């Protein structure tokens, strides 16, 4: 580890990667008095801002507006002759991304953080070299936050013209007439709904027995039912075996229930996850420990090499943007000499489809393996605000430990679920009980009442349920 000249010198920190696992800890360390350098080989903001969370949600919002206009008659509003201007949709997506990226760059500059463009490689425990220029940067601490890249599908025909990954999808120049989406996880279902609502014919293929594997099964089935009603063709337990191309069409061959089936589409999107991006870093040169392709860290986000920390997708685990930020800030605090342990106690997971899906804590299936549980549910069709919005599909589901009333998990499918889940996250972080949640006064009319009433079903009965 590099030594400071004297106790009055600032701690020097190098952050490799400017995504959501990189720029927040850079700002945090700078605010605490560190001299910070951020190295970024591509665009400031990383995957989430440029090729992930932000552009995807912009497209989802455009698709939602188109659907709202289509249904405007429900609200007494007539909108005949509307059309989707695909180029304008993509331009707005680019504008939102650019504005946010510019904002991040201004934040970094405001904290006098040096931004270096280029690819970083580790020379030793305290020195990083910029591949393109040969510049060597020495620091007392290093935080690795290089993110991830799309995983490829190891089957014949999974690469080539017309086969897209998530990056290709977000840069599409025109709307395909038909698309086969391979992978029904969070990204796959969001892509499927965007394309369908903007006018494409969509087939969604998932290897597991439900969409969004790992989610509460009841919620996953409800989401599948919702998007199928919209017109998306969904095949679960579908093992894709090959992709062939003839002229401008692709044929995806998959096996379901032992039978070979096929679907045709103009484009194929492969959305089967992401893997840590450790390219060019030369982690073996400095002896950084890895397990299953990810960097090994302790609960302080420090690697086996003292002074080198890591955060975000490069450490695996829960590969979500808000987790990367929390891990990065934890790393920054420890790099600055504080003692901070990363907690994964109440981590929310969100899907921004319509209906939205959000959850925190244990699924019903996982909870039943360890506890004696009871489950409370409240449907959105019993909520006045949901009726006003004409978004009554879905429910709030609370999984509770029966004896003491500890809330083990909260799962929501319905309008604004990704906003509503924050109440459950805060409550579970503070070890709230079912009774406390049921008796907390909620404003009326709001969607948040559904959380209160779901708890009340297990505590004296919900008012707005028969």
Average pLDDT over residues 132-146: 97
Mind giving me the DSSP string for 26-93? HHHHHHTT-EEEEEESS-TTHHHHHHSHHHHHHHHHHHHHHHHHHTGGGGT---TT----HHHHHHHH
Question: What is the rounded average pLDDT of the residues 199-223?
Answer: 97
Q: Tell me, what's the pLDDT at 75?
A: 97
Whichever domain contains 219, its CATH number is 3.50.50.60
Q: Where are the beta strands (DSSP E) in 324-422?
A: 348-351, 356-361, 373-379, 395-401, 407-414
- Asked which of 249, 272, 295 is the last residue of a domain, the reply is 272
In a domain, 183, yes or no: yes
Assess whether 295 and 391 both reside in one domain: no
Q: Tell me what pLDDT residue 248 has.
A: 86
- The band of 152, judged by pLDDT with boundaries at 50, 70 and 90, is confident
264-277 per-position pLDDT tens digit: 999 999 999 899 99
Mean pLDDT for 391-419 is 97
- CA-to-CA distance for 17 and 224, rounded, in angstroms? 36
Given a cut of 60, whether residue 1 has pLDDT beyond it is no
In a domain, 463, yes or no: no
* Portion of the chain with pLDDT greater than 70, in percent: 98
Block residue for tokens 């069409």? 249
Strand-pairing partners, residue 348, are 360
**Domain holding 445: CATH number?**
3.30.390.30
Task: Reply yes or no on whether the pLDDT at 5 is more than 70.
Answer: no
Query: Residue 171: its pLDDT value, please?
Result: 92
Q: Using the predicted structure, report yes or no on whether residue 187 has a pLDDT greater than 60.
A: yes
Q: In this predicted structure, what is the pLDDT of residue 194?
A: 97
Residues 419 and 331 in one domain: no
Whether cis (ω within 30° of 0) applies to the bond prior to 316 is no
In the chain, the number of structural domains is 3
Question: Residues 140, 19: one domain?
Answer: yes
pLDDT band (50, 70, 90) for residue 280? confident
Q: Are residues 331 and 355 in the same domain?
A: no
Where do the H-state alpha helices sit in 307-414?
321-335, 364-370, 384-389
d(CA 21, CA 295): 14
CB atoms within 10 A of CB 159: 12
Indicate the pLDDT class of residue 240, thresholds 50, 70 and 90: very high
**Residues that are catalytic:** 444
Per-residue pLDDT, averaged over 15-42, amounts to: 97
Of the ranges 156-160, 441-445, 452-456, which one carries the lowest mean pLDDT score? 156-160
pLDDT of residue 6: 53
Give the pLDDT confidence of 352-384 residue by residue, as tens digits: 999 999 999 999 999 999 999 999 999 999 999
Residue 342 lies in a domain: no
pLDDT bucket at 8, cuts 50 / 70 / 90: low
Which residue range(s) make up the domain with 18?
Answer: 12-150+275-335
My answer on whether 226 and 294 are in the same domain is no
**Cβ pair 150, 166 in contact under 8 A:** yes
Q: Are residues 371 and 327 in the same domain?
A: no
Residue 465 lies in a domain: no
Decide which of 313, 335, 357 is a domain's last residue. Answer: 335
Distance CA 406, CA 14 (A): 42
H-helix or E-strand spanning residue 141: strand 141-144
Residue 327 within any structural domain of the chain: yes
Q: Considering the domain boundaries, does residue 310 fall inside one?
A: yes
Per-residue pLDDT, averaged over 295-315, amounts to 97
Q: How far from 309 is each of 36, 37, 195, CA to CA, in Å?
A: 14, 15, 39
pLDDT at 91 over 60: yes
Q: Is residue 329 part of a domain?
A: yes
Say whether both 279 and 146 belong to one domain: yes
Same domain, 16 and 137: yes
Residue 384 sits in the same domain as residue 299:
no
Q: Is 419 exposed, middle or buried (0-12, 13-18, 19+ CB in 10 A)?
A: middle
| pLDDT above 90: percentage of residues in the chain | 92
**pLDDT at site 465:** 85
How confident is residue 4, by pLDDT bands cut at 50, 70 and 90? low
In a domain, 7, yes or no: no
How is residue 105 written in tokens? 């760059």
Beta bridge partners of 302: 309
- Same-domain status, 359 and 253: no
Mean pLDDT, the chain, integer: 95
Same domain, residue pair 119 and 171 = no
| Token reading at 116 | 């270096």
Do 262 and 366 belong to one domain? no
């Amino acid at each position: 580890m590099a030594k400071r000249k004297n106790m009055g010198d600032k701690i020097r920190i190098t952050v490799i990667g400017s995504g959501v696992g990189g720029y927040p800890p850079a700002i945090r360390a700078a605010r605490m008095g560190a001299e910070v350098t951020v190295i970024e080989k591509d665009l400031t903001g990383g995957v989430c801002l440029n090729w992930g969370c932000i552009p995807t949600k912009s497209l989802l919002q455009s698709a939602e507006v188109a659907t709202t206009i289509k249904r405007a008659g429900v609200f007494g509003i007539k909108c005949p002759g509307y059309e989707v201007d695909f180029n304008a949709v993509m331009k707005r997506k680019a504008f939102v991304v650019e504005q946010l990226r510019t904002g991040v760059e201004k934040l970094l500059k405001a904290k006098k953080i040096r931004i270096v463009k280029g690819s970083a490689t580790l020379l030793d425990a305290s020195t990083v070299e910029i591949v393109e220029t040969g510049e060597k940067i020495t620091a007392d601490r290093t935080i690795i936050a290089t993110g991830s890249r799309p995983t490829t599908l190891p089957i014949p025909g999974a690469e080539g013209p017309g086969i897209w990954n998530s990056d290709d999808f977000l840069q599409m120049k025109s709307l395909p007439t038909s698309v086969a989406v391979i992978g029904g996880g969070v990204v796959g279902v969001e892509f499927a709904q965007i394309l369908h609502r903007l006018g494409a014919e969509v087939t969604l293929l998932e290897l597991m027995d439900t969409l969004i594997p790992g989610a509460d099964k009841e919620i996953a089935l409800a989401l599948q039912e919702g998007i199928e009603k919209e017109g998306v063709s969904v095949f679960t337990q579908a093992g894709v075996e090959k992709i062939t191309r003839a002229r401008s069409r692709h044929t995806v061959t998959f096996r379901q229930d032992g039978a070979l089936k096929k679907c045709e589409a103009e484009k194929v999107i492969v959305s089967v996850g992401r893997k840590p991006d450790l390219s060019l870093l030369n982690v073996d040169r400095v002896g950084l420990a890895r397990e299953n392709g990810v960097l090994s860290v302790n609960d302080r986000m420090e690697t086996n090499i003292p002074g080198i920390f890591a955060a975000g997708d490069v450490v695996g685990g829960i590969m979500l943007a808000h987790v990367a930020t929390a891990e990065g800030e934890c790393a920054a605090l420890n790099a600055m000499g504080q003692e901070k342990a990363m907690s994964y106690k109440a981590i929310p997971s969100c899907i921004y489809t319509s209906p939205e899906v959000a959850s925190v804590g244990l699924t019903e299936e996982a909870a039943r393996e360890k506890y004696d549980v009871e489950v409370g549910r409240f449907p959105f069709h019993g909520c006045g605000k949901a009726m006003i919005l004409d978004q009554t599909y879905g429910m709030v589901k609370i999984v509770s430990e029966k004896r003491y009333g500890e809330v083990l998990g909260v799962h929501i499918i319905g309008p604004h679920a990704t906003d509503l889940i924050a109440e459950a996250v805060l409550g579970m972080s503070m070890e709230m009980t079912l009774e406390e949640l049921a008796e907390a006064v909620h404003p009326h009319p709001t969607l948040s009442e559904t959380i209160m009433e779901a708890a009340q079903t297990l505590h004296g009965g919900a008012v707005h349920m028969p």
